[in-house]
Amino acid sequence: DDMESVNIILNKDGNQTGDIEGITEDTFFKYDGNSTVTKVNEDVTPVPVVKFSPNGGNFVNNVKVTATASNATSAWYKIGNGQQINISGSATFSLGDGIAIGESVTVYWSASSATETKTGSVTFKKVEEQVLPEGLTVYYDNSVTKWGSVKVHYWGGESATEWPGVDMQMVASNIYMYTCPKGTTGVVFNNGGGDQTNDIEPENNHIYKGTGNHQYVDGGSYSSSVADTLNTTTSRASASTTRPPDSTSCARATKSRKCTCSDNRLR
């Protein structure tokens, strides 16, 4: 569906595959739960669909939404009980005006090809603008990594966590938040089971998106629609700026990346 090339790693219980690179279409894999993955050849018939960006979720004040039809000869959307709006390629609309805080609105869609018609919906909810607590607040976008558990390990401030850190709070679809103590200088996002980002020097209220193989994207200040528009060209690896570990006291695990350093932080 005109998607950019993506790279993935399949993992389970601390085991993982190598990098699977250059995926540009629907692809099926058979994974043994360890390190072996096999591509499975399946005939996939394109299904008519309307995709939304952002794909539902919470928003503050107003949100701009883009609806894109794929594999369809005709398609439409409608907001709540409103009129149907035809989609030719893509269409953009805004939500927020006239919607009260705490109120949800559902956007319905239909897409037809020569052989079938598909329907669906996405729901948006207007929420009150969040007042950030004291400290350094970070967000994590789990839409690519799809971790079952999202944790943050932090250090350098008034206190630090033991590896793998603490659970983050889900605040929107695939978006997690945690407020670290004042003075925090480094964080690592991870799933508590061997998959993680590199060290990050965090900025307050920024959202970070894991892209696999320890890489991440800094999406800048968080808002309700930032997570869906992160620019993957800014992916970067951050090196630790603190003292190098004593070679006799810290062991680096190539895959699990668990730390045995005396200060309990990842290298």
Q: pLDDT, tens digit, for every residue of 239-262?
A: 333 333 333 223 223 233 334 333
What letter represents residue 184's amino acid?
Answer: T
Question: What's the average model confidence in pLDDT over 88-97?
Answer: 94
Q: How many CB atoms lie within 10 A of CB 216?
A: 26
SS3 call for 107: strand
Quote the pLDDT of residue 231.
37
Q: Which one has a higher pLDDT value, 232 or 178? A: 178
At residue 233, φ and ψ (nearest 5 deg) are -75, -10
Quote the pLDDT of residue 40.
86
Please give the C-alpha separations between residue 85 and each of 81, 111, 143, in angstroms, as whole numbers.
12, 12, 29
SS3 call for 233: helix
Instruction: Report whether pLDDT(266) > 60.
Output: no
- Of 16-25, 145-154, 207-216, 232-241, the one with minimum mean pLDDT is 232-241
Contact status, residue 173 vs residue 56, Cβ threshold 8 Å: yes
Contact status, residue 240 vs residue 188, Cβ threshold 8 Å: no
SS3 call for 67: strand
The structure's pTM equals: 0.46
Quote the pLDDT of residue 183.
93
In the numeric block, the tokens 């499975």 are attached to 40
Instruction: Report whether pLDDT(154) > 80.
Output: yes
Instruction: Report whether pLDDT(130) > 80.
Output: no
139: nearest Cα among 198, 227, 61: 227
Q: Which one has a higher pLDDT value, 223 or 182? A: 182
Quote the pLDDT of residue 224.
56
What letter represents residue 54's amino acid?
Answer: P
How confident is the prediction for the chain on average, in pLDDT?
A: 82
What does the alpha-carbon distance between residue 262 and residue 116 come to, in Å, rounded to a whole number? 61
